[in-house]
Amino acid sequence: MTKLSVNINKIATLRNARGGNVPDLLKVAVDIQRFGGQGITIHPRPDERHIRYQDARDLKAVVTTEYNIEGNPQHNFIDLVLECKPDQVTLVPDAIGAITSSAGWDTIKNQEYLTEVIGEFQRNGIRTSIFVDPILEMIEGAKKTGTDRIELYTESFAHQYSLGNEKGIDPYTKAAVLANELGLGINAGHDLSLDNIKFFKENIPGLLEVSIGHALISEALYLGLDNTVNMYLNKLK
């Protein structure tokens, strides 16, 4: 079964909109795991507009499943990850001020840098994953960095699927086949939802984990958080 890691950035966004501690981010993380979620993902940004660096530290004490921290490996982020020692770190090439992730790494151009950062995390016992587009050359480049896994950036698939174009999955299937051949673990995330997750999972061989935040939290406004988590789990079986 593909694991479901729930990104709780949007919970932090809602909390920060009013100040105070409502909703309680730590309680939501505990509840998501109680409902069956198999991991908690956060993506702290330099401006801390949703997840704060202190949140990352506080969550370490309450995440009992898999703790995944995403972000651009700048100095402050690297220091935070080494302090928190999550189960997994996912490296994302976000520009400062970006609204959301919009592209994967150029693993050829950034190979030396990624290799150095990945080596540092792995020496500290942290599994590494790097965010990549479904481009075969980028998958091959990822292998050369020494990363444990890749996370396929799925915005393009989600957009094409919403238009009724199921062929939009083809580059992802080919990327997954190559990753399996190279011995890379496969994660995926971005714009995956209850509408497309089952089709995506069925067409990606060896899919280990999906990280879902915006869609899941939005769907939970109507369906309830417990119900929504379990609807994803059922589709990922």
Average predicted confidence (pLDDT) for the chain: 96
Known active-site residue 70: yes
Task: Decide if pLDDT at 101 tops 70.
Answer: no
Task: Decide if pLDDT at 97 tops 70.
Answer: no
Catalytic residue among 50, 66, 151, 190: 190
Known active-site residue 155: no
Label residue 1 by pLDDT band (50, 70, 90). Answer: confident
Structure pTM?
A: 0.95
Report CA Rg, the chain. Answer: 17
Label residue 233 by pLDDT band (50, 70, 90). Answer: very high
pLDDT tens per residue across span 201-221? 999 999 999 999 999 999 999
Q: 127 pairs with which residues across the strands?
A: 88
Catalytic residue among 50, 66, 70, 209: 70
Whole-angstrom distance, CA of residue 185 vs CA of residue 27: 30
Whole-angstrom distance, CA of residue 199 vs CA of residue 235: 9
Label residue 126 by pLDDT band (50, 70, 90). Answer: very high
Domain ranges of the chain: 3-236
Give the count of beta carbons closer than 10 Å to the beta carbon of residue 206: 12
Closest by CA to 40, choosing from 235, 209, 230, is 209
Label residue 102 by pLDDT band (50, 70, 90). Answer: low
pLDDT (0 to 100) of residue 163: 98
Superfamily of domain 3-236: Aldolase class I (3.20.20.70)
Which sign, positive or negative, has the C-alpha torsion 138, 185, 193, 114?
Answer: negative
pLDDT (0 to 100) of residue 96: 57
pLDDT (0 to 100) of residue 65: 98
Token pair in block for residue 165: 């174009």
pLDDT tens per residue across span 42-85? 999 989 999 999 999 999 999 999 999 999 999 999 999 999 99
Task: Decide if pLDDT at 187 tops 70.
Answer: yes
Label residue 136 by pLDDT band (50, 70, 90). Answer: very high
Task: Decide if pLDDT at 32 tops 80.
Answer: yes
Output 87 or 95, whichever has higher pLDDT.
Answer: 87
Known active-site residue 209: no
What type of residue is 85?
K
